[in-house]
Amino acid sequence: MPDAPAPLDDIVAEARRLRAAADAQHLPLRLIGGVAVHLHSEHPAPALQRAYKDIDLVTLKGSSRKVRQFMDAMGYTRDAIFNATNGHRRLLFYDVPHERQVDVFVGSFEMCHRVPVTERIELDHLTVPLAELLLTKMQVVELNEKDQRDIVALFHDHDVGSSDDDQINADYIARLLAQDWGFWRTTRMNVDRTREAASHYDIGADAQALVRDRVDRLWQRIQAEPKPSRWRMRDRVGDRKRWYEQPEEVG
């Protein structure tokens, strides 16, 4: 049996290689994370670019065994103990020569909040849709600089609208957050952070204003969505009760 091909040095090229190979095998695998944000920017603003350390992917429930075999064939090393314990929800692999990690979330993305990243997996060829991609960043309670930069980049490069055609689908996000007060609360916090952060990046006054306008329009749509009674009841409790999960660090 021939040796598995080695992962590429360039992490973006490597992400494309994985997606092309998965597509050839009809394996439902899509990118999330910073590399996915980068792939959605045809002309990224230099001030919003950053280095990428790892590759993050999602797949459908029931695909874990096929993903393990696929990653073996693509030259990756399994985290056997983690995968045996968590393979129903998350898989972990290593690109040992480049000291890179690949996370594969199975069925949904669950950190501080749950994002249903695979329900609309067929809408985009390379990544999850822009709405879900944004939500994987907006769900972070303790937002770090790289996630904040990615959020600003998404708003910088994409309008807010009611479709998934190169837009951040505000209707979809509003409906999702109307069912989850905790996720709404964290998103409100990160909307405020993003409005402030826009002025910290050297993208020009017009682009900073554009980011803030798009953030505001998304929030207006979220607020306009009717909220069910259970959402309103949780709203009365507010911050007195913790509204998010504390994600474990792995790797």
**43 or 60, greater pLDDT:** 60
The reply to whether 94 falls in a domain is: yes
Q: Distances in Å between the alpha carbon of 69 and those of 18, 34, 78, 91, 187? A: 13, 25, 10, 12, 37
pLDDT score of 99 more than 80 = yes
CB 155 within 8 A of CB 214: yes
Residue 4 pLDDT level (bands cut at 50, 70, 90): confident
pLDDT score of 245 more than 90 = yes
Let me know if 146 is exposed, middle or buried by CB neighbors in 10 A (0-12, 13-18, 19+).
middle
Mark 61-89 as b/e (b = at least 16 C-beta within 10 Å).
Answer: eebbebbbebbeebbbebbeeebeebbee
Residue 2 pLDDT level (bands cut at 50, 70, 90): low
The reply to whether 4 falls in a domain is: no
The reply to whether 6 falls in a domain is: no
| Mean pLDDT, range 18-45, rounded to an integer | 95
The reply to whether 108 falls in a domain is: yes
The reply to whether 245 falls in a domain is: no
User: pTM of the predicted model, to two decimals?
Assistant: 0.95
| Region of 122 on the Ramachandran plot (φ > 0 left; ψ -120 to 50 alpha; else beta) | alpha
The reply to whether 5 falls in a domain is: no
**176 or 41, greater pLDDT:** 176
Average pLDDT along the chain: 96
The reply to whether 161 falls in a domain is: yes
The predicted-structure confidence for 192-229, as pLDDT tens digits, reads as follows: 999 999 999 999 999 999 999 999 999 999 999 999 99
The predicted-structure confidence for 142-189, as pLDDT tens digits, reads as follows: 999 999 999 999 999 999 999 999 999 999 999 999 999 999 999 999
Which domain, by its residues, includes 198?
11-233
pLDDT recorded at residue 250: 66
pLDDT score of 25 more than 60 = yes
The reply to whether 218 falls in a domain is: yes
N-to-C CA span, the chain: 30
How many domains does the chain contain in total? 1
